[in-house]
Amino acid sequence: MGVVNNTYPPASLYNRIPFIHDMEHVAKIHADDLNYLRGLLDKHSMPTSVCIKLIHIHFHLNEGEILAMREIDAPPHGKIPLLEPTMPDVAGKVYGCNYIVDGSGDLQAFEYTTMEGGPDLATYPSFVTEFCAAIVQRGLQHKFGLAINLGAAERGSWMELDYPDKRATFLLPSHIPLPQSDRLIMRTTITKFPSFKSEENGNKDAPTHVHIEHVWGSSERIDVDDEEPVDGLTTKNGLFRSRSRPHQDVVPVEEDTLDEWTHPPFEGYYDQQNGYLYGRGTADDKSALAGVMSALEALLAQEDYDPRRNVILAFGYDRELSGERGAGAIVKHLVEEHGEDGIDLTLDEGGARLQQVGDRLCALPAVYEKGYLDVWFNLSMPGGDSFIPPPHSAVGVMAEIVKTIENNPFDAGIEWDSPVHQGLTCFARYSPHIYPELTERIQRGDFDGAARLLARLSSETQYYVQISQAVDLITGGEAINTLPESVTLGVSHGLAPQDTIGSLVHSVVELVQNIVNKYNLRFEPFEDDDDYDFSLKSKGLTRKPRKQGSAPAH
């Protein structure tokens, strides 16, 4: 039979137990086994505080450290257990509460509590014997064990909830709604602010900025001029400066789309079943905003945390309108304060996450937007009565420009020693089997071929190595029976590391030049634009003299 061992295991033994994220699938896969083990509890009339436990750890423990349990108030749920690491001399008397079965059926490891009053499993030998035998026969070692949940009013599955703010774990009956940690509450709250700006919005402070001052009262506000504020927090003068720059604003929500949302965009709805937080800005970029502030708050709350380097938090609020008034003012201020090379590390928004590559999860470079350029086309042509139309109206000509742009994507490429280049080199060295064709090209130095292959793999990998272009806006015409006199087209571009604004605009001009010639238009590309002029000069070219055509195209 299983032996009740009243000595706690060393940390080296305890630390070999799997982490919770490695075990989260077990309950579903072994549902039949779990129901059988729960049936043993009823068969032997076990106390309701004895429950089946999914075996896992949340934290690695140091030698001499134990897990202590105490009860805390959690209104409106009364008292609930909180499990947290502590030292034996602080915990006092140790009492085993969780029983884990090894390959022989013996009880291998405990988690501990200073709270007394739970049943001693040594007084239930028939149950322990049958339980251990079932664990061994069904191959459930290090999957299911027993837990004594002190004060449990009923048997049922108890959930464990990570509480990172206190480096601890809640134990909670499954029928009680999950409590929210400070971090989750904070992120939910800032999602409720409809913090978007329009060109006409002259309000100086975005609503989220007001909330930041309320939640993080220790932050320092810096006004860089009479127009716009900068949020900054400097921990200590030091050698090295890092800057974090999530933005507060979000893309606006059109009123006529509100009924299409699963949950209202600014409700900050948290779904306890799937763990998702719903709302505009949860991905772009209030999650990063809350994460950065949470991390710094947690660090600054530690008595022994004494940073040697400055940390500057720079939260723009008009990023979705190009960021000129928010981030633009911040950059100007930082250059004046610290110089052109005064910031050693910048943490910006991006797609930083683990990605599935073949059969592996990989941490890939997360640099999506390396530079940005909006290109606007303004086409003017004679108007008139649409009942006597020319072969092509201004809308038709602009449609041809759109088709030409979308049918001619930019070339893919990889800049030597860039993050993408370094990441691919590492990929080929340590995971050569996932994409053998990609590995082969990298190993022989064919990075142009590797770039073309990446561009074909997926849209995510494509824009690591290639300029993105999207036709986002087109307007023109006044009435259905009148030829449009002007049409405007807007195309957004995200630069790749190997490209420049000058090369981009030069490519755009070359792309539409044939259409300009075809319709005998007067072409005035990028007037007074230094980047375009420099690009021409680098290719040994000069601006062409203005062509006197029937209509101007800019």
DSSP states of 55-86 as a string? --BSS---TT-EEEEEEEE-TTS-EEEEEEEE
- CA trace torsion 419, 421, 422, 427 (10° rounding): 120
Q: Would residue 160 count as lying in a domain? A: yes
Q: Are residues 450 and 547 in the same domain?
A: yes
**What is the distance between the alpha carbons of residues 442 and 423, in angstroms, rounded to a whole number?**
11
Residue 235 sits in the same domain as residue 154: no
Q: Of 349, 383, 402, which residue constitutes the final position of a domain?
A: 349
Boundaries of domain holding 189 = 183-349
Euclidean distance between CA atoms 232 and 219, whole angstroms: 7
At 106, the pLDDT band (50, 70, 90 cuts) reads low
Q: What is the pLDDT of residues 141-164, one digit of tens each?
A: 778 888 776 655 555 555 666 555
Q: Report, as an integer, the average pLDDT of 468-474.
A: 93
- Whether residues 406 and 375 fall in one domain: yes
Helix or strand (DSSP H, E) at 337: helix 327-338
Structure tokens at 93: 């008397």
d(CA 403, CA 408): 9
Give the three-state DSSP class for 3.
Answer: coil
CA 426 to CA 417: how far, in whole Å? 12
Residue 396 predicted with pLDDT over 90: yes
* 358 occurs within a structural domain: no
Q: What is the arrangement of strands in the sheet containing 144-148, beginning at the earlier edge strand?
A: 50-54, 144-148, 98-101, 107-109
The answer to whether position 117 is within a domain reads yes
**Which of these, 244, 370, 246, lies nearest to 310 by C-alpha position?**
244
Contacts of 50 (CB under 8 A, 6+ apart): 41, 119, 121, 146, 147, 148, 155
pLDDT value at residue 113: 64
- Answer with the one of 149, 179, 209 that is the final residue of a domain: 179
**Band of residue 410 on the pLDDT scale cut at 50, 70, 90:** very high
Mean pLDDT of the chain: 73
Report if residue 135 sits inside a domain. Answer: yes
pLDDT at 453: 92
Say if 356 falls within a structural domain.
Answer: no
Tell me whether residue 357 is in a domain: no
> Same domain, yes or no, for 412 and 314?
no
Give CA separation, 127 vs 3, 131, 195, 259, 323, in Å: 12, 6, 59, 55, 66
Over 60: is that where the pLDDT of 546 sits? Answer: no
Q: Are residues 339 and 258 in the same domain?
A: yes
- According to DSSP, residue 539 is labeled T
Tokens of 186: 């904070």
111 and 158 in a single domain? The answer is yes
In a shared domain, residues 218 and 82: no
Structurally, the chain folds into a number of domains equal to 3
Residue 304 sits in a domain whose CATH number is: 3.40.630.10
Highest mean pLDDT, choosing among 197-201, 296-300, 523-527: 523-527
Looking at the fold, whether 434 and 507 belong to one and the same domain comes out as yes
Pair 389, 448 in one domain = yes
Confidence band of 405 (pLDDT split at 50, 70, 90): very high
**3-state DSSP assignment of residue 321:** helix
* The pLDDT of residue 409 is above 70: yes
Smallest CA-to-CA distance from 179 within 159, 198, 199, 202 is with: 159
417-422 average pLDDT score: 82
Give the pLDDT of residue 189: 44
- Between CA 375 and CA 505 the distance in angstroms is 8
Tokens for 495, please give them: 């630069």
Residues 385, 325 within the same domain: no
Two tokens, residue 499:
């490209």
Measure the CA–CA gap between 352 and 329, rounded to whole angstroms.
26
Q: Is residue 354 part of a domain?
A: no
Q: What is the CATH number of the domain that holds 486?
A: 3.30.70.360
Whole-angstrom Cα distance, residue 8 to residue 108? 9
Do residues 418 and 450 touch, judged by C-beta distance below 8 A? Answer: no
pLDDT for residue 222? 46
Q: Which of 148, 179, 210 is the last residue of a domain?
A: 179
Judge if 422 and 460 occupy the same domain: yes
Residues 268, 270, 271: CA angle, nearest 5 degrees = 145
Asked if residue 109 lies in contact with residue 87, where contact means CB atoms within 8 angstroms, the answer is: no
In a domain, 4, yes or no: no
Give yes or no for residue 277 having a pLDDT over 50: yes
Q: Are both 279 and 378 inside the same structural domain?
A: no
